[in-house]
Structure 1
Amino acid sequence: MPLLFLYEGMPKRKNHVSKSALTLKKIFGAIASFLIALGTPLLVVLKLLFSLTIEAGAISLNILAAYFNLILHFLLTINTLLLKATASGRSLLAHFIPRLPKKPLLRRQAKRHPLLAAPPPQKKPLTLPNLARITPRLSLPHPSISLASLASRVSFPAPRPQFLLTISLCFFLLTTFASLQAYLFLTSLPNPHLLTQNTSPVTTKIYDRHGTLLYQFYKDQNRTPIALTNLPPYVSQSVIAIEDKNFYHHPGFDSEAIARAALANSSGTAVQGGSTITQQLIKLKLLTPEKTVIRKIKEVILAFWAERLYTKNQILEMYLNEVPFGGQTYGIEAAAETYFKKPARNLTLAEAALLAALPKAPTTLSPFGSLDKAKERQSSVLNAMVSQNYLTAPEAAQAKSEPLKIAPLETEIKAPHFVMFVKGYLQKKYGPDVLDHGLQVITTLDYPLYESATALLKKGVTAQKYLHVGNGAALITNPKTGEILTMTGSIDYFDSPSDGQVNLTTAERSPGSSIKPLNYALAFERGLLNPSSPIDDIPTAFRVPGQPVYLPQNYDGRFHGRIPARVALGSSYNIPAVKTLEKNGVINFLQFATNLGITSFSDPDRYGLSLTLGGGEVKMTDLATAYSSFANQGEKVDLNPIIQIKNYKGNILESNTSNQFTRRSDSEGGPLATGNSRVLSPRTAFLVSDILADDRARTPAFGPRSNLNIPGHTVSVKTGTTETKRDNWTIGYSFGPDPRLAAVWVGNNDNTPMSPYLESGNTGAAAIWNPIMALLLKDQPNSPIPKPSNLTEVKICALTNTLPCENCPNITTEYFTPGTEPKVACHLIKDDLEKFRSARINRP
């Protein structure tokens, strides 16, 4: 109000205003513009810093939208403030944007606020004497002065472009551009939250059932994460002492170390690097390795950010699991295993100090290349630990004197065919990249047994070179649980010229007669045959529409007349087997074999009656699965190579124990436990197993003392040989609480035939199967075949499959389901004996 009185007393000159008032308005306007120009981008930068340091999250694009909104408000605010400050009616933008009108804006006198016409400030304070001198000059009496009329009579000239305002606007544009660039730079940085996401490949390890490491799978980096709490204290202390002594005190970067490193680089002097452990972690996990100023700036910013997100120990643990230690070795756990063949938790002080020395120059300091240089660096690490009070001088001296036992560099793979089989299993179940996820796989393989069985296989193949046996394969399982105990796909995995890497336990080969038990099992299951059913082994022509006449021959080139099914299967005669398949039907047999586990019978149109003699190729693993149904009273158990799978964090992904294969005591079966499926009745499974264990039933073909006998043990076994002698098999199994199944194949990878003098059941696969099975059953008590309660033994005449009569020369016992046994006796006369002279089997 005093200022208004002062204005009222001024002379009434047109467009007159005090110069001091105008100058003051200009200064205030420039300052306001400058502050807003500076404050707007600063607000954005502060917002970004707030996001980095407090929220520590991703920078939202909403900030950018808010930023441009602030720019608009700034321009409007400048225009409004200076419009009011000058009361000229002209927009500030009119000085810079030519299209805006330069004349004062129209204003209504009635709505004009009197303060807008405030007079310039007085140089002297307004006192009553001064007011008395001014009052007589006023046109209105003092008590009734009108502010509105005063404002209407005072006008000011329009201001011209001001130098300070121009500078402030330029400064605003510059800071806007700089802020935008800062925003784009910060938003381009990777998020430190990614540090806890395991983006680095982690080694997958395959173990046998006893914990023996079979192999490690990794592409470029062999890494096994380990928790910091599982390491001895001196492991982390040695790393901190040599890499970042101020680790627990800096905010992620060490400005003194950076300056020292920069000075050393400019002078050419080699000193300790300027990167902290946090910076090294950022460089390893989030940034590229090029050496540029921009990357260094990013490294510092991200290190500072990471320290806001994680504790020091979390950062140290991530670093120890990420840092390279030479070659393909990454992380302290993999380094301990590579150089000392022990887990990192068992490292000694001397060993830990040596490993801490390696990250500076892993190749130059590698103990494999230069142990002396590594020892020198180890000494520096121990000295640093003493200077930083982690160790005493005597402790360091003792560690320096400790001899280091560097393990030889090994790339050995144990049980290679099995390991690759497990690899395929994992990739099929968990995806193609699963081997980079750090799985700890405990398998069912018994490595000591594998070594013994493989040695017997190699010995047997070598001993039969004279029979042109060039290769062999062996598979041992527990038919009760499906566990694969050994798998040898060839005698030499590394024999590339002979395709040694081909796993013949999973390759498709002709099974020969080893497929016959499945054929007879189907006939027993359908009630078409029983073990005593007579079958004529005589020359027979089989006619199938659209196919040539089929005239099968027996292995020995002879015909054996009417024989019981027991002898036909036990001695592996071909003509009775073809007749049995004709009864079953090829389509029915294909479906039945598939149910038992044969996966290769895919196209029914490809197969005919020769299928029962090996006319369709199968895998050894499939045949082992099918035979396990006979050993398990009709329950099929799929082969299983896995006991347990854990991820690198220790979480169990898969666990297979024997408990899941618990069986019912009910001989007739019923609902099955998880992991099983019933494919046969216990009756059929028993009958097939009993025939395959009957030495008298196979004596006509193999002799009384063949390699199919394991003295003191009940073993069911079957051979198989192709007509051209390209494949020879023996597969057999035992019984009891801990049974074993062993399958052996011999032949040649190039499919060339073996010698025609190879004698199935005595040479070839049987000569290898016998010592393997004897090894498996050594020191084990004999276990008989478990007999179902719904079978009864009846004495019959083997020649007629009837109750015995006076002239029957071969009276034996056979198993029948109650109600199906013979009801009448035979009526043989002496002339009939000549007719059935070939039936000489007497099974008491």
Structure 2
Amino acid sequence: MYLSRRSRFQKQYFKQRLLAYGLIGALAVIVVGFIFSFLIFAWYAKDLPSPSKLSSLSGYSTVFLDRDGKVLYDMYKDKNRVPVTFTEIPDYLKQATIAIEDKNFYKHAGISQFGILRAAINIVLGRGLQSGSTITQQLIKNVLLTSRRTIARKVQEMILAFEVERRYKKDEILLMYLNESPYGGTFWGVGTAAKGYFGKEVKDLNLVQSAIIAGLPQSPSFYSPFIGKNDAWRGRAKDVLRRMREDDYITRDQEKKALSDLEKIRFTAPKLAISAPHFVFYSKDQVEKEYGEKLIDQGIKVKTTLDLEVQKTAEKIVSEEIEKLKGLNATNGAVVVLDSKTGDILAMVGSYDYNDEKFGKFNAALGLRQPGSAVKPITYATALEKGYTPSMVLMDVKTEFSSGNSADKPYTPVNYDGKFRGPMQIRFTLGNSENIPAVKMLAIAGIRDFLQKATDMGMTTFAPTQENLNRFGLSVTLGGGETTLLDLTSAFSVFAGNGNKKERRVISEITDFKGKKIYKQVRVREKQVLTPEVAFLISHILSDNNARLEVFGPNSYLNIPGKTVAVKTGTTDDKRDNWAVGYTKSITVGVWVGNNDNSPMNPKIASGATGASPIFYRLMRELLKDHEDGIMDKPDKVKALTIDAYLGGLPKDGYPTRSEYFIEGTEPKDVSPFYKKLKLSKANGKLANDVEIKNGNFEEKEFVIITESDPVSGDGKNRWQEGIDAWLKDQGDPKFHPPTETSDASTDDVIISIKNPSGQQTVDSNNVEIKAKIISIAKIKNVKIKINGSEVKSIDGDKEEVNETINLVDGAYELQVVATNEKDKQGESTIKFGVNKPWDYITPTVIPSPTL
């Protein structure tokens, strides 16, 4: 199409104007954006601290307090800082810090463009602000700003980063970072860290030591070798070495050697101004689990449940008693004290000396150990909830436990003192901590149910998983599993608290440095995991000094004079662990004694006499000066009853009695079934045979006959009874030895007893059912039924009973049953009866009429 010159000019003019307007608009946007950015930066920068204050530290300390506000540990009090010069810092430490924290430190202008982009993406995706700051930004955060993750704070950090980069050289910034960063606990700056962890000047640090220190500032309370997670520093150091190798600071061979040296690294012994150290670090772990480790580094006040006075008392007693045991190769001990009513941890002693180089730091209260017989109360509690009673009798005799399967290794436990005590009621098997009855009780109650009950009560390592069911056998009731002192003590607090499991409490309150509450415990969380009735029965048994008298004696360390305290001991077979756990309605105390390397103690260590028991005794006596003794109140459904003290039923003439508690509905209704009257032949004293019993040729005599079924056996063999029978052979009392042979007197006799019809009675039917019972040692070969002397039925063959029906007209009859055995001996029985007539009815005689 043809366009005029004028039209082409107008079109070109329009394009130029549009371009001009576009340029003006873009310039305006840039100017407005610049002004807006300037105003934003000015707004955020108006209250910014001066970069010249980088050498002045600000921040807040994290303080752990006991329940009364007494300071247990001030993590950052008197922050130790030993400034060093740039030339004193080894290249390895500089390189390690740059490699793990900011690989482009010498290239950027204070901020990482990639980091900003990643932060923006995270915000858009709803992930919040995440760390990833440069060394310059971290320095600003540590010294000039707070650690709060907000957009405003991030903008301020960026502004200051530009200004710091403008004012200071890169080496100066790196030096300030290394001198001002936290390196765990009171260690601030690499100079202090080098002294604190390795006892040397910073210039003398080697590659491995430099890598360890360089990895700490990211999360000093988590990675610290002294107060951090076990071995977390090790994994962090490996990451540092890998990054150094990736950034070509070290070779692969240097990395390999460093990793080898890392496994042999040694730290100087920490010297901390701290009370209850194991508890403090346990509570610190709880805070970090809930809120993350960054909260600890920001500075908070943590009010705990610990009672410092109780803690000091426990520490003193543990230290003194362990010192006495060193000659018995028992080198360590631990204690946990709980408030029975709330679940609060009042004391936690993790070792007898926290500063011991070999094992001081390890918290034995949290270590997995075998509890020995200390778990028996849970076995018996499981059984009592199934309806068994404290008066139930179990035979304490040598017993083999086996299913009979060739792949099933027989288990033959022994008692602590090697003795067997025969029939024992549950009260005394638990009180005296007898092993064999406990294993029988577990077999009866069921392993799965026991594991579930232990788990419900707080022993989580006993969960009835398939793995646990596969590895645990009946020995688990003697301590074949593993648990911690803290968990075992918590489980016992369930008995103390009416069967309620209280949630264990460590922290009562957390506040920030401004006093704002982050957390506050408002109420006790609890769950009923055991009936109050069963909790009472177990508590009553464990507090009954008479129940444990036979094994422990009247004056053991388990008996607190003038106080009512429930307590149970435990010792593993190989003497590697020794326990005492007990409680009142107000406090629960758990004690463990052993060696951290799990080596066995001297065999002279004995439950109730040495080891954990003296610690328990001394500590409980001290605690009961301020805490209430006694067990829980008796529930209404628990009734007292006088019973046979020997076999546990209702009182038996000639046997002693005692009082026992029963849950309503489980009380015995009769004397023990183990008392049996036997009919003995007058002729020879053997068991009377049926003929003698029928003839009355016997006398009755009472014996004790104890039987048990074997729920473990799978081949029909009753190994429990075999153990009982073997024990009985060694008993001299004749009541245990009833005759087993049957009398052979009167064996030729035949005894017949007519059961129907009854003698001297009237039958109201013409079809008469005749029933008789025949007793004969020899086989019967013939039975005859006679009516009024005439045989009406003859039956051949061995018969023990006769059941025949005969039709008779009305009248009076004589019934006779005669039986003959294979020895041609006869027996008979005769009765008279009537059919629709009296049995003594006389049939009238018809007199003929005279002939006329």
Distance in 2 (alpha carbons) for counterparts of 1:424 and 1:293: 38
Answer yes or no: is 1:778 the counterpart of 2:606.
no
Answer whether contact 1:461 1:472 (CA < 8 A) is retained: yes
Instruction: Summarize the Cα distance change of 1:784–1:621 in structure 2 as closer, same or farther, 3 Å threshold.
Output: closer
Name the counterpart of 1:504: 364
Name the counterpart of 2:502: 637
Match of 1:681 among 531, 543, 565: 531
CA displacement at 1:438 relative to structure 2: 2.2
Answer whether contact 1:447 1:486 (CA < 8 A) is retained: yes
Query: Per the alignment, in what secondary structure is the counterpart of residue 572 of structure 1?
Result: coil
Instruction: Summarize the Cα distance change of 1:812–1:415 in structure 2 as closer, same or farther, 3 Å threshold.
Output: same
Name the counterpart of 1:48: 34
Distance in 2 (alpha carbons) for counterparts of 1:329 and 1:625: 36
Answer whether contact 2:640 2:662 (CA < 8 A) is retained: yes
CA displacement at 1:328 relative to structure 2: 6.4
Cα RMSD for the two superposed structures: 4.1
Answer whether contact 2:565 2:629 (CA < 8 A) is retained: no
CA displacement at 1:776 relative to structure 2: 0.4
Answer whether contact 1:461 1:471 (CA < 8 A) is retained: yes
Q: How does 1:665-814 map to 2 (within 5 A)?
A: 675-735=525-585, 739-778=586-625, 780=627, 782-808=629-655, 810-814=656-660
Name the counterpart of 2:416: 555
Distance in 2 (alpha carbons) for counterparts of 1:194 and 1:525: 71
Name the counterpart of 2:72: 214
Gaps of 5+ in 2: 1-18, 52-56, 82-142, 146-152, 170-179, 189-269, 677-700, 706-727, 736-852
Fraction of identical pairs, as percent: 40
Answer whether contact 2:498 2:632 (CA < 8 A) is retained: no
Q: How does 1:286-685 map to 2 (within 5 A)?
A: 294-295=166-167, 411-497=272-358, 499-527=359-387, 529-544=388-403, 545=405, 546-602=407-463, 603-657=468-522, 660-661=523-524, 675-685=525-535
Distance in 2 (alpha carbons) for counterparts of 1:701 and 1:550: 24
Distance in 2 (alpha carbons) for counterparts of 1:832 and 1:569: 23
Q: How does 1:170-209 map to 2 (within 5 A)?
A: 202-209=60-67
Instruction: Summarize the Cα distance change of 1:565–1:837 in structure 2 as closer, same or farther, 3 Å threshold.
Output: farther
Answer whether contact 1:730 1:744 (CA < 8 A) is retained: yes
Q: What code does the residue aligned with 2:604 have?
A: Y
Answer yes or no: is 1:820 the counterpart of 2:669.
no
Q: How does 1:125-144 map to 2 (within 5 A)?
A: none
Distance in 2 (alpha carbons) for counterparts of 1:724 and 1:578: 18
Q: What code does the residue aligned with 1:702 have?
A: F
Name the counterpart of 1:361: none
Q: What code does the residue aligned with 2:514 have?
A: K
Instruction: Summarize the Cα distance change of 1:831–1:573 in structure 2 as closer, same or farther, 3 Å threshold.
Output: same
User: Per-residue displacement from partner, 1:466-504 (whole Å, max 9, x unpaired)?
Assistant: 22211100111102100001101001112122x221111
Q: What code does the residue aligned with 2:458 have?
A: G
Distance in 1 (alpha carbons) for counterparts of 2:144 and 2:293: 31
Answer whether contact 1:218 1:436 (CA < 8 A) is retained: no
Instruction: Summarize the Cα distance change of 1:617–1:752 in structure 2 as closer, same or farther, 3 Å threshold.
Output: same
User: Per-residue displacement from partner, 1:636-664 (whole Å, max 9, x unpaired)?
Assistant: 0122111111233322222125xx23xxx
Query: Per the alignment, in what secondary structure is the counterpart of residue 605 of structure 1?
Result: helix
Query: Per the alignment, in what secondary structure is the counterpart of residue 364 of structure 2?
Result: coil
Answer whether contact 1:202 1:221 (CA < 8 A) is retained: no
Q: How does 1:87-236 map to 2 (within 5 A)?
A: 202-217=60-75
Query: Per the alignment, in what secondary structure is the counterpart of residue 73 of structure 2?
Result: strand
Answer whether contact 2:496 2:631 (CA < 8 A) is retained: no
Distance in 1 (alpha carbons) for counterparts of 2:507 and 2:329: 36
Instruction: Summarize the Cα distance change of 1:190–1:531 in structure 2 as closer, same or farther, 3 Å threshold.
Output: farther
Distance in 2 (alpha carbons) for counterparts of 1:54 and 1:656: 42
Instruction: Summarize the Cα distance change of 1:38–1:687 in structure 2 as closer, same or farther, 3 Å threshold.
Output: closer
TM-score by length of 1: 0.53
Greater mean deviation of Cα atoms: 601-610 or 683-692: 601-610
Distance in 1 (alpha carbons) for counterparts of 2:471 and 2:418: 27
CA displacement at 1:43 relative to structure 2: 8.2
Instruction: Summarize the Cα distance change of 1:47–1:760 in structure 2 as closer, same or farther, 3 Å threshold.
Output: closer
Distance in 2 (alpha carbons) for counterparts of 1:749 and 1:54: 60
Query: Per the alignment, in what secondary structure is the counterpart of residue 464 of structure 1?
Result: helix
Q: What code does the residue aligned with 2:166 have?
A: I
Q: What code does the residue aligned with 2:487 have?
A: D
Answer whether contact 1:715 1:734 (CA < 8 A) is retained: yes
Instruction: Summarize the Cα distance change of 1:194–1:518 in structure 2 as closer, same or farther, 3 Å threshold.
Output: farther
User: Per-residue displacement from partner, 1:813-839 (whole Å, max 9, x unpaired)?
Assistant: 111123321222466888659979899
Greater mean deviation of Cα atoms: 693-702 or 593-602: 593-602
Q: What code does the residue aligned with 1:595 have?
A: D
Distance in 2 (alpha carbons) for counterparts of 1:45 and 1:208: 59
Q: What code does the residue aligned with 2:398 have?
A: P
Larger Rg: 1
Q: What code does the residue aligned with 2:380 have?
A: Y
Instruction: Summarize the Cα distance change of 1:617–1:292 in structure 2 as closer, same or farther, 3 Å threshold.
Output: closer
Q: What code does the residue aligned with 1:772 have?
A: L
Instruction: Summarize the Cα distance change of 1:222–1:205 in structure 2 as closer, same or farther, 3 Å threshold.
Output: farther
Distance in 2 (alpha carbons) for counterparts of 1:194 and 1:542: 80
Higher strand share goes to which structure? 2
Name the counterpart of 1:259: none
User: Per-residue displacement from partner, 1:648-697 (whole Å, max 9, x unpaired)?
Assistant: 3322222125xx23xxxxxxxxxxxxx10110110000000000001000
Gaps of 5+ in 1: 1-32, 59-188, 224-278, 298-321, 331-408, 662-674, 840-844
Query: Per the alignment, in what secondary structure is the counterpart of residue 433 of structure 1?
Result: helix
Query: Per the alignment, in what secondary structure is the counterpart of residue 606 of structure 2?
Result: coil
CA displacement at 1:416 relative to structure 2: 0.8
Q: What code does the residue aligned with 2:312 have?
A: E
Query: Per the alignment, in what secondary structure is the counterpart of residue 501 of structure 1?
Result: coil
CA displacement at 1:716 relative to structure 2: 0.3
Name the counterpart of 2:752: none
Answer whether contact 1:201 1:221 (CA < 8 A) is retained: no
Q: What code does the residue aligned with 1:678 have?
A: Q
Q: What code does the residue aligned with 1:749 have?
A: N
User: Per-residue displacement from partner, 1:260-293 (whole Å, max 9, x unpaired)?
Assistant: xxxxxxxxxxxxxxxxxxx987999556789978
Name the counterpart of 1:177: none
Name the counterpart of 1:391: none
User: Per-residue displacement from partner, 1:156-207 (whole Å, max 9, x unpaired)?
Assistant: xxxxxxxxxxxxxxxxxxxxxxxxxxxxxxxxx9996999xxx997532211
Instruction: Summarize the Cα distance change of 1:601–1:37 in structure 2 as closer, same or farther, 3 Å threshold.
Output: closer
CA displacement at 1:461 relative to structure 2: 0.6
